[in-house]
Structure 1
Amino acid sequence: MEKYDVKKAHKALYSPSAKEFTVVDVPEFRHIAVDGRGDPNTAPAYAHAVEALYGVAYTLKFASKRTMDRDFVVGPLEGLWRADDPAVFATRRKEAWEWTMMISQPAWVTDGMVQAAVDAVSKKKDLPALGDVRPLTLVEGRCVQILHIGSYDDETPTLDRLHNRCLPDNGLTFNGDHHEIYLSDARRTAPAKLRTILRQPVRPR
């Protein structure tokens, strides 16, 4: 049985350059998602969201393999980040951040399968954010992205280049939430070696 792996199926989207911004066209993707607000380092809601997402993601994987004979690699954690003032990302004012944490799903995973997985997990574990897990279809279209290597708190210079040089120099402006894809497991990776895709949907200014 061949496993579906979103990183391999969409290699150009999940292996960007770490030196230069690249423009990509991102198609429709299905996710499971949880919404929240606050500093991801200290807000209990963030930890609860991630815990619930992984619980449902692995339950979906095993259910798909068992009932459909279709297996897949659980995708990396991803996050959509937003705020009334985009400058709070560069200044790292995390208490003002709103977020949607996500894990990509194969196209064959239906809303009904997601609900069944939530129900199955609820019978085994008491996870505070489990009831907040929802299906999410995301179409970002034209985006600018780059690979950031290092601590999350060291993203500021790259985001400054994106906001104040890359977009203006190319006649582009924001067209959606700031998107991060966490290719590394922060629990097992030194901060200096973390690999994070920084993606920004854009449109002509």
Structure 2
Amino acid sequence: MQESLKKLTDLEFNTLCIDDKILSNIRYAHECVDKDYNHICYKAFGDRNVNYSVTREQIDRAVVLYNTRKQELLKEHNEKFIMVGMGMEYDNPLSNGIKNHRVRATFKNNDGVLCFIEFTANTNNKDLPKVIINHAIYNYVSNSELHINNYKGLERLNNIENAYTKDNLLSIINDCFNCGFTDLVVLNYIVSPEDFINEVL
């Protein structure tokens, strides 16, 4: 049974593209084909269970808006440690809690060494999500053989009692990697870790 898609009008395009999530979905709309691989439409996921059929022209317009929005976000937060949301957003009940299940970042420490870290929320206790470190890589250069993986034994530690908050993630980064970042922000949908490297200004 073929899915019913709503044709995206230009008026709806202008309204919906204010939302970063939907803008990203239109920018990355995927092609739908029939059993013989003939083009049917471009599909973009919307919101509230509504998905859209979009045109190639709308995708091209979304690419321009997407790139402009990315530059605006990077400029707005250039003095903060930027982490990129890689998982689903959720309602973290903690004050200053991270509201994405998985976040990651690339950064240079005080010695100029490139590093990479990825955190996940342990939500076994939904009222008190804890930190899980998926990846902690020191010397994150293009030659992966030179990576120092599981730096300082941080990955998948069972004894991390830190709550999944911005302050605690920042403390881990600063204390374990010799950094001096003072503020942290999580950006979703528009920015990817390959777009920038965090450095102390």
Q: TM-score, normalised by structure 2?
A: 0.26
Q: Report 1 or 2 for greater relative contact order, CA contacts < 8 Å, sequence distance ≥ 6.
A: 1
Which of these two proteins has the greater Rg computed from alpha carbons?
2
Higher share of residues assigned strand: 1
| TM-score (ref. length: structure 1) | 0.25
* Higher percent of residues as helix: 1
